[in-house]
Structure 1
Amino acid sequence: MTDLVLSESLTAARRRLEAALADAGRPAGDAALLAVSKTKPAAMIREAHRLGQRDFGENYVQEALDKQAELADLGDIVWHFIGPLQSNKTRDVAEHFAWVHSLDREKIARRLNDQRSEDLPALNVCLQVNISGEASKSGVSLDELPTLAEAVLGMPRLRLRGLMAIPAPAETLVEQRRPFARLREALEALNARFPEAHLDTLSMGMSGDLEAAVVEGATLVRLGTAIFGERQRFH
């Protein structure tokens, strides 16, 4: 992808999000783009940064660390870890990311909390919910969600921000909205149960269902292909 094409695709993604917010009756800027840069080279991230993008999502720890080192001169990039997180990778994530979207186990939460340096701000975390109940998907169930949320709220080096989900694919806007509505309702229930938490984040919606997610209150929309083109290994 050339710099010109990246500029055009990023502009188109921003306009799509702006249009979705307007159609949903929400204020401009009420949701932000998270550019999913996994498998994309650091040079593309650098160009997206030059074009004003600041939030980038990575799925693979070592790949992300390599890119972070190459882009260390860009001090205002906000790195989000959005993939499955294994116990042996928690220290790297705790030390090198500002956000984790895929937290679904107390064990992983405790490791992240214990390994987060006191010199860094608290690590922003979203709890991943298996909103469609798929056996193949990561995420905590809605029934287990309050218990996990309560545990994370007691961890001083973590800051619980909200919820994330990747629903099963659906064809129509109506069908796409249903799981996002359930996630929004789950966030509202957590805020009613833990009012001191002030949970403010719904990480939901990708290239195929952005509009449905925005209608239901998404605050971070994860777009990869729509910004960077088809995936390929960068190394």
Structure 2
Amino acid sequence: MSIAQNIQTVRQQMAEAARAAGRDPGEILLVGASKMNDAAACKEAVAGGIDALGENRVQELLAKYAEDAYAGAPLHFIGHLQRNKVRQIVGKVDLIQSVGSLELLEEIEKWAAKLELVQSVLLEVNIGGEESKSGFAPEALEAAAEAALTHPHIRVQGLMTIPPVETESGGNVPYFEKVRDLYVDINRKLFHNEFKYLSMGMSGDFAEAIRCGATMVRVGTAIFGARNYG
């Protein structure tokens, strides 16, 4: 199967999940998680109609950016972002999905101000309370959102989460539901219901995430094939 064919297969599965939840499939965006795939694969995904491409690693993003790999599609940063790498991606990406600390918010604000632009971000929620993952604890999320509103060069457009790895089908549903509830609550309280993106769900669970309210899914393996970590 080609990348373009895989995109169509994923879109069909997305549409089925949306309709099962009484939702419009057109309101859900497909982000191709292109980590460890070359510029040619990214270009093939763009040609195949991907809604956006998402990178996890700054150096890989910059290398492929120089090869014009993302032309024709929005570019998102979806991995853990170190503060000392912020200056390398602010203004290059349309959306930073993985903002999970107040310090990172401040660093993004600093560099966006220097470039005289407004950087769109999502607040990452560590919904499983895992020490190995970044993100705001659910109970700290509202305060983080309030802090983000004080930064004039940052626009918060929603939430993102990566739930714990589950081996049973449907195991992530409770996590997705909790993040959806946080999204609705904070959107209403602080953002005048203007949020755009609830980013949750990957290759193994994007259908469940859609049924729980995701408006954006991040799919890598189901589009690009298994990654070789050897």
Considering the TM-score relative to the shorter chain, is it more than 0.5?
Answer: yes
Q: Give the match's secondary structure for 2:127.
A: coil
Partner of 1:50: 47
| Match of residue 68 from structure 2 | 71
- What is the aligned counterpart of 1:158 among 142, 154, 160? 154
Query: Quick one: structure 1 residues 70 and 177, their matched pair in 2 at CA, closer, same or farther if it must change by over 3 Å?
Result: same
- Name the SS of the counterpart of 1:71 in structure 2: coil
Q: CA deviation at 1:120?
A: 6.7
List aligned pairs for 1:114-153, cutoff 5 A: 114-116=110-112, 122-153=118-149
The Cα shift of 1:232 comes to 3.3
- Percent of aligned pairs with the same residue? 36
SS of structure 2 residue aligned to 1:143:
helix
Aligned residue pair count: 228
* TM-score, length basis structure 2: 0.93
CA contact (8 A) 1:207 1:224 kept: yes
Q: Does the 8 Å contact 1:79/1:98 carry over to 2?
A: yes
Matching residue's letter, 1:167 = P
Matching residue of 1:229: 225
TM-score (norm 1): 0.91
Q: CA deviation at 1:205?
A: 0.4
1:28 equivalenced with 2:25 (yes/no) = yes
Q: Note the residue ranges of structure 1 that are not aligned, 5 or more in a row.
A: none
The 3-state SS of whatever aligns with 1:116 is helix
Q: Tell me the alpha carbon deviations over residues 18-64 of structure 1, each in whole angstroms, 9 at most, x when there is no partner.
A: 11111111012111100000110000111111122240000110110
Unmatched runs of 5 consecutive residues or more in structure 2: none
- Give the superposition deviation at 1:118: 7.0
Report the aligned-residue RMSD.
1.8
Aligned residues of 1:160 and 1:197 also touching (Cα < 8 A): no
Which of 163, 166, 185 in structure 2 is aligned with 1:167? 163
Q: Distance in 2 between matches of 1:28 and 1:144?
A: 32
Displacement of 1:182 in angstroms is: 0.3
Partners of 2:64 and 2:205 in 1: CA distance: 28
